[in-house]
Amino acid sequence: MAGGLGTRLRPLTYAIPKPLLPIGDRPILEILLVQLARAGFTRVHVSTGYKGELIKSYFGDGHRFGCNIAYAVQEPAAADSQSTSPGSAKVGSMLDTRATAARRRTGRTRRSDISG
């Protein structure tokens, strides 16, 4: 969620990256980090691209939100891409394949048939 240009959210994302857009009085990524920490997650990896320095500046190492944040910086070409990342396409393809196999076996798709 932290990578990409946020083109579908423009003009909001001209100045602010998607993760820092507020929902109520807090940035969306802050809400997610706090929820992850409450659920017991202690380490979170955030992939940044567009305006990543603002994201790192706001969230730092994550201790204020109850977790430890590690950052991965996307290459500019990847951050500028309008298309889905290759990794997302690969996961989607894998899930489609599992769902198709599940339908063939049972005639219907269940969540347990397509999950990990």
What does the alpha-carbon distance between residue 104 and residue 57 come to, in Å, rounded to a whole number?
A: 49
- Domain count within the chain: 2
Amino acid (one-letter) located at 101: A
Tell whether 48 and 99 lie within a shared domain: no
Tell whether 74 and 116 lie within a shared domain: no
Tell whether 75 and 98 lie within a shared domain: no
Tell whether 100 and 62 lie within a shared domain: no
Q: Measuring CA to CA, how many Å separate 27 from each of 43, 55, 72, 89, 116? A: 19, 10, 20, 27, 30
The mean pLDDT value for 53-58 works out to 90
Task: Indicate if the pLDDT at residue 33 is higher than 60.
Answer: yes
pLDDT of residue 52: 84
Weakest mean pLDDT among 7-11, 12-16, 94-98, 112-116 = 112-116
Range of the domain at 110: 83-116
Task: Indicate if the pLDDT at residue 116 is higher than 50.
Answer: no
Give, as one character, the DSSP assignment of residue 41: -
